[in-house]
């Protein structure tokens, strides 16, 4: 005789929680709705896969430290914003990450740069891709602390392995020599291997000035801009629109 309790306990011990829930639900199903063994197994496997995907996404979102809980579906596309559905669609499947392409987002304060960057990050997390969001000030802090406590090389190695890094508020203040050197090393390590999303209030033409050293600027911009998706958001502040 089949011991259903033993089956449930076995599934729980194997940490197949969604399969256990599906099996338990099947035990209380009306006779005319009972699935065949093959159908039940298929449903159990499918539910377990969905459960694990959800848990993985939840974990990746927590580790990503994204600033906003944004989704691509909520991103407004219009000519006024200078953002087309085609541009957004090109980023939706996150294949740009597998191709190690960058995304450069520019625009005035409040136009939705960070929101778009976070929406891209959330989409990547949902597809099983690890993401890390860093404001430029936080990146500078990490660099400074790593220099002091001797973990600088470890930091670079950790950042190099992350498939998608989002750097927000790029160019708020001119870079010092340590920041320039680290940014160049980071981009060199990731060049043609990993993707980086950068959001900035400054137009691309002004990025040379904020890097603040011609030789470094050329090297950094060369690694950033090759095969990059460029999005220049326009229009009035979305924050002001929400307040009206």
Domains of the chain by start residue, with CATH:
4-63 (no CATH), 65-243 (3.40.50.300)
Model pTM score: 0.81
- Tell me what pLDDT residue 149 has: 93
- Predicted confidence at residue 244, as pLDDT, reads 47
For residue 177, the Cα-to-chain-centroid distance in whole angstroms is 28
- Take residue 244 and report the two structure tokens written for it: 């009206």
pLDDT of residue 237: 66
Q: Consecutive 10-residue runs of the chain (244 residues): their mean pLDDT?
A: 78 81 77 71 82 86 95 93 94 95 94 96 96 93 90 93 96 86 93 96 91 92 91 77 51
Q: How far is 97 from 105, CA to CA, in rounded Å?
A: 16
Strands 164-168 and 131-135: parallel
Interior CA angle at 125 toward 124 and 126, to 5°? 90
């Amino acid at each position: 005789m089949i011991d259903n309790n033993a089956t449930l306990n076995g599934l729980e011990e194997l940490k197949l929680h969604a399969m256990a829930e599906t099996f338990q639900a099947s035990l209380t199903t009306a006779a005319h709705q009972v699935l065949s063994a093959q159908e039940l197994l298929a449903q159990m496997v499918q539910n377990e896969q969905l459960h694990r995907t959800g848990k993985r996404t939840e974990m990746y979102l927590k580790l990503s430290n994204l600033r906003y809980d944004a989704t691509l579906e909520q991103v407004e596309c219009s000519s006024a914003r200078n953002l087309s559905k085609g541009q957004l669609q090109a980023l939706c499947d996150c294949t740009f990450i597998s191709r190690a392409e960058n995304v450069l987002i520019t625009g005035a304060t409040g136009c939705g740069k960070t929101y778009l960057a976070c929406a891209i990050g959330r989409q990547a997390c949902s597809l099983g891709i690890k993401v890390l969001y860093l404001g430029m000030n936080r990146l500078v802090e990490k660099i400074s602390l790593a220099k002091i406590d001797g973990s600088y090389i470890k930091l670079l190695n950790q950042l190099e392995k992350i498939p998608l890094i989002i750097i927000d508020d790029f160019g708020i203040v001119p870079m010092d020599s340590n920041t320039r050197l680290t940014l160049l090393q980071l981009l060199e390590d990731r060049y043609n291997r990993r993707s980086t999303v950068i959001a900035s209030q400054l137009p691309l033409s002004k990025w040379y000035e904020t890097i603040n050293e011609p030789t470094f600027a050329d090297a950094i911009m060369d690694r950033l801009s090759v095969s990059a998706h460029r999005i220049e958001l326009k229009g009035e502040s979305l924050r002001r629109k929400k307040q009206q």
